[in-house]
Structure 1
Amino acid sequence: MHDPLRLTAIQLAPGADKAANIAQARGLIEAAVPQDRPQLIALPEIWTCLGGDRATKFAAAETLPEPGGTGGAAYEFLREMARTHQIHVHGGSIGESGGDKLFNTTLVFDPTGTEIARYRKIHLFDIVTPDGQGYRESAIYGAGDQLVTFKLGAATIGLTICYDMRFPELYLALRRAGADIILVPAAFTLQTGKDHWEVLLRARAIETQCWIAAPACTGTHFDGSNEPRVTYGNSLIADPWGIVTARCSDGPGFVTARIDLAKSAKHRADMPVLEHRKLV
């Protein structure tokens, strides 16, 4: 039997100032480590530059290095946090330079500061919210096309980002790839979040029988036309039965849960839904 994994979800209130966002993330990580002693820390979606115009987003994006190479400010910050605190760091997602478009990209580092996983968001957020605000992520970002997992001890951890959560086939594919935990960094809008955030995350946990950890952005930022955009926050961790075991309150902060893989194993043995599946 394996000891539970301590996982901390960091909730940030980022804007378009990359240096200020990194400083905010540093402060929260350095508070969480001695208090909760996590083995894995996870950050939200696109936390290095939330808001601003196209030029701002491109300026904040980073060209990611080849293995062993030196990266930009956010890349090296994430690597530093992993190495300094001897933990795994899941970097939420940052803007990755990719030519005419960026990629919304997750990076994961092990306790030596070595990058062990890289995932590009597959599903892009091109929608109109109930209050009439339009979002067109594909105008700036390209889509990824690869399923990505990584190992942390006995756990296999799957990577997704925000809008991906509306596509259960991705989560089923991760479960089939051996995932025990699925991470969902997000900058979920207030309008959709208040109705769908928890429902979708709990559903993904129930149907995959995986732990779901969703670190989120919170607060108000401003887009390129200076229009305010509000993110929902409510970072949470749900167990394989769909019960929320940890949740952030409003504002920047962090929340930690003990991830017990034995709970997943029991639910999967008692209710083997993957083996019962007929159509997919």
Structure 2
Amino acid sequence: MKISLIQMNSQPDRDHNLRQALRLMQDAVDRDDPKLIILPEHFDWSGGTPREKFDAADAVPGGRAYDILQDFAASHRVWLHAGSLLERVEGSDRIRNTTVIFDADGIEVARYRKIHLFDIVAPDGKAYRESETVERGTDLLIYEINGLRIGCAICYDLRFSRLFDRLTQAGVDVIILPAAFTLQTGKDHWEVLCRARAIEFQVYFVACGQWGAYPAAGGETRHTYGNSLVCDPWGQVIARASDTVGVITSYLDIDRVRAVRNLIPMETHRLDLANMAVRSVFP
């Protein structure tokens, strides 16, 4: 199955972001004719103040970004894994960080809401407090296209292997992770984590990121790492974006998944360790 990843540089400007997404998706369709297009985290809105993010959150379904992507999927007969957008929650003082999947008829297949929220202080001292504005998700999600079972995750989820272990138990062949990884953490952790997840769970790992600078609260400028990539189930990077906005295209082959799993049959060796005792011995 042919897929295209859209690497963007989203800003606190929905019109700008939607124009950029539509242009790049059209480029992917015209050049590569993929079966599935993947957008990054926060494709519709990135940066700004917490108040601006809250005000920018839109209806799902029925919001502008939602409607534009739904129309694109239907008119171009292509599946869309719509990165993540800011979803308004009626009656709540928080929003959701939400992936929406559309099939080639423009019908919503499912939604995944980010589970692990990014609350850290980066090495340069910049504080990220996603939980101040975002309500965490409560469910995992798998959908199927062309015989491939696809598991969903978003950005910071990447660091939590138990999520992927649970998806593997449900039989996924591919993980798709839209992201807006920071430049500082990305340069040290992005590739190694993506490749590790592909290797340990014997799946294609598809990670589609934001790239470049954007303005945040208090006049601060922040930078995302980009380097959108596709890892095969052996952990090899088979496609990678350069340091700019653009499109990369790759193939997912279920026979490759089967071959790796037959070579090293981890699933038959995987043990349930939840009830296994831990012996602690301290001198």
Distance 2:158 2:119 in 1: 14
Distance 1:161 1:151 in 2: 18
Q: Which residue of 2 aligns with 1:244?
A: 237
Q: TM-score, normalised by structure 2?
A: 0.94
- TM-superposition CA deviations, 1:9-64 (whole Å, max 9, x none): 10001100011100000000001112111000000001211001122212221121
Q: 2:158 matched to 1:165?
A: yes
Q: What are the equivalent positions in structure 2 for 1:110-189 lying under 5 Å apart?
A: 110-189=103-182
Distance 2:52 2:34 in 1: 33
What one-letter code is carried by the residue in structure 2 that aligns with 1:237? V
Q: 2:17 matched to 1:34?
A: no
Q: Which residue of 1 aligns with 2:265?
A: 272
What one-letter code is carried by the residue in structure 1 that aligns with 2:42? I
SS in 2 for 1:58: helix
Q: Which residue of 1 aligns with 2:202?
A: 209
Shift of residue 245, structure 1, vs aligned partner:
0.3
SS in 1 for 2:235: coil
Q: Which residue of 1 aligns with 2:213?
A: 220
SS in 2 for 1:91: strand
Equivalences, count:
271
Q: Which residue of 1 aligns with 2:279?
A: none
Shift of residue 275, structure 1, vs aligned partner:
2.0
Gapped runs of 5+ residues in structure 1? 66-70
Distance 1:63 1:30 in 2: 24
Larger Rg: 2
SS in 1 for 2:140: coil
Gapped runs of 5+ residues in structure 2? 275-283
What one-letter code is carried by the residue in structure 2 that aligns with 1:86? R
Q: What are the equivalent positions in structure 2 for 1:76-87 lying under 5 Å apart?
A: 76-87=67-78
Q: Which residue of 1 aligns with 2:52?
A: 56
Distance 1:121 1:103 in 2: 8
- TM-superposition CA deviations, 1:197-251 (whole Å, max 9, x none): 0000000000110101111000100112110000000000010001000000011
Q: Which residue of 1 aligns with 2:226?
A: 233
What one-letter code is carried by the residue in structure 1 that aligns with 2:259? K
Distance 1:272 1:173 in 2: 17
Residue 21 of structure 1 is aligned with which of 17, 24, 42? 17
CA contact (8 A) 1:48 1:60 kept: no
- TM-superposition CA deviations, 1:96-148 (whole Å, max 9, x none): 11221011000000011000010000000001111111101000001101010
Distance 2:213 2:225 in 1: 9
- TM-superposition CA deviations, 1:65-97 (whole Å, max 9, x none): 3xxxxx111001110111111010010000111
Distance 1:226 1:82 in 2: 36
Q: Which residue of 2 aligns with 1:47?
A: 43
Distance 2:232 2:125 in 1: 34
Distance 1:123 1:174 in 2: 15
Q: 2:83 matched to 1:92?
A: yes
Q: TM-score, normalised by structure 1?
A: 0.95
Identity of aligned residues (%): 47
SS in 2 for 1:267: helix
Distance 2:189 2:262 in 1: 29
What one-letter code is carried by the residue in structure 2 that aligns with 1:205? A
Distance 1:189 1:175 in 2: 27
What one-letter code is carried by the residue in structure 1 that aligns with 2:82? G
Task: State the superposition RMSD in angstroms.
Answer: 0.9
What one-letter code is carried by the residue in structure 2 that aligns with 1:221? Y
CA contact (8 A) 1:103 1:141 kept: yes
Distance 2:72 2:191 in 1: 29
SS in 2 for 1:184: strand
